[in-house]
Amino acid sequence: MNIQHHISLKPYNTFGLDVKSLMFSEVNSLKELKDTLTLNQLEQFMFLGGGSNVLFTKDFDGLVIKNNIKGKEIIEETDEYVKLKIYSGENWHKLVMYCVERNWGGIENLSLIPGTVGAAPMQNIGAYGVELEKVFIELEAFNLNTFEIEVFKKTQCEFGYRESVFKRKLKNQYFIFSVTLLLQKQPVISAEYGDIQTILAEKGIQKENASIKNISDAVITIRQSKLPDPKVLGNSGSFFKNPQITVEHFEKLKLTHPHIKGFEQENGIKVPAAWLIEQSGWKGKRIGNTGSHEKQALVLVNYGGATGNEVWDLAQEIIKSVKTQFDIELEAEVNVI
């Protein structure tokens, strides 16, 4: 275990923001985590996985703990399914590729989502019609007060749209140590999204004959065509959540914006944040060193040299514009530090 001082976090966040941490440590095991937390005398500390869902607006006056706890274990396997336990420091996309190679279905639609496995249940990651909770069994979480490992079943995680209990009432109380997923050996293909169907059609693949590799390849193609590579252009992927509004609100908006898009949910209509931002005139707009990406309005980018405050100021202006034009309040998906 090695605690460093005054370390730049630029290599550890996908926005590429050059902020510093007072102290920094990487942990490779539960023992190292316990030792680090025991020796740490600072009140303020935070965990970093892939750094893909965080916006630093200032230096961090505490201890940053980088999670490198890795490994995979088959808990149970039958002719129909695999129960796979994955430790939280594993890279999410590499896990998806690992499962696709073995034809274990369930997470192929979540290909190329940045970050680590530990962050996946934290915000119930989702894409192209699939959310983590669909394949989730349980997780192990390290209680930061008692130093004990606790097991959380699906209902205890209180999953919602990009939400879980760990982002709300249990925020900053647990470190997610491992996640166990149920993956199918005779997978059911999820190709409802039009973009996926278009890619499959272009390759001459019928939906009913598509493999999970076909779906994964299609999702990767779509994401690469729309989303900038953080190694080239700093970003955190989707900056805002897709807002949900009432049916009445949606019908009212249709009168003035007949081309508005909406998807029925249990409690209303989900409206694509990217569409709202584009209609408000922000898509491709650059202010100083930051802006909304030219191909995907939902992605705020660092063109080089931007500060976290610049990005956050831009986000606030976008929120204000959308609120004025549509009476819809956008909510940031990233964690703002």
Helix (H, G, I), strand (E, B) or coil at 86: strand
H-helix segments, the chain: 30-39, 92-101, 119-122, 154-157, 194-202, 212-226, 247-256, 273-279, 308-326
Q: Answer whether CATH 1.10.340.30 is correct for domain 234-336.
A: no
Instruction: State how far the alpha carbon of 84 is from the alpha carbons of 105, 121, 195, 237, 298, in Å.
Output: 12, 15, 29, 27, 33
Whole-number Å distance between alpha carbons of 279 and 122: 31
- At residue 1, the pLDDT reads 61
Name the band, by pLDDT with cuts 50, 70 and 90, for residue 63: very high
Q: Would you state the structure tokens that stand for residue 313, as one six-digit string?
A: 């100021």
For the record, the structure tokens of 119 come out as: 């962050």
CA atoms within 13 A on the CB side of 272: 14
More confident residue, 105 or 226: 105
User: Residue 91: which pLDDT band, with cuts at 50, 70 and 90?
Assistant: very high
Task: Please give the pLDDT value at position 39.
Answer: 79
Comparing 315 with 211, the larger pLDDT belongs to 315
Interval 144-195: pLDDT, tens? 999 999 999 999 999 988 889 998 899 989 999 999 999 999 888 887 777 8
Calpha distance 19→245 (Å, rounded) = 36
Closest CA to 174 of 137, 135, 136, 146: 146
Mean pLDDT of 284-296: 95
Q: What share of the chain has pLDDT > 70, as a percent?
A: 99
Is CATH 3.30.465.10 correct for 72-184?
yes
Structural domain spans, the chain: 3-67, 72-184, 234-336
What is the model's pLDDT at position 66? 95
- Residue 26 — very low, low, confident or very high, per pLDDT cuts 50/70/90? very high
pLDDT for residue 332: 93
Q: How far apart are CA 261 and CA 254, in angstroms?
A: 9
Mean pLDDT of the chain: 92
What is the pLDDT at residue 206? 80
Residue position matching structure tokens 């990651």:
125
Structure tokens at 188: 């059911």
DSSP 8-state secondary structure symbol assigned to residue 134: G
pLDDT of residue 38 exceeding 90, the answer is no
Q: Which residue has the tokens 């090695």?
A: 2
- Decide if pLDDT at 221 tops 90: yes
Across residues 309-318, what is the average pLDDT?
A: 97
Assigned fold of 3-67: 3.30.43
User: In Å, how far are 47, 242, 257, 322 from 167, measured between CA atoms?
Assistant: 13, 17, 34, 25
What pLDDT does 188 receive?
84
- In degrees, rounded to 5, the angle at the alpha carbon of residue 240 between the alpha carbons of residues 128 and 264 is 50
Overall average pLDDT of the 309-320 stretch: 97
% of the chain exceeding 90 in pLDDT: 74
Range in 93-107, 121-135, 308-322 the model is least confident about: 121-135
- CB proximity list for 145: less than 8 A, separation 6 or greater: 173
Q: Which residues are catalytic?
A: 162, 238, 333
pTM of the full structure:
0.86
Q: Which two tokens stand for residue 20?
A: 């510093």
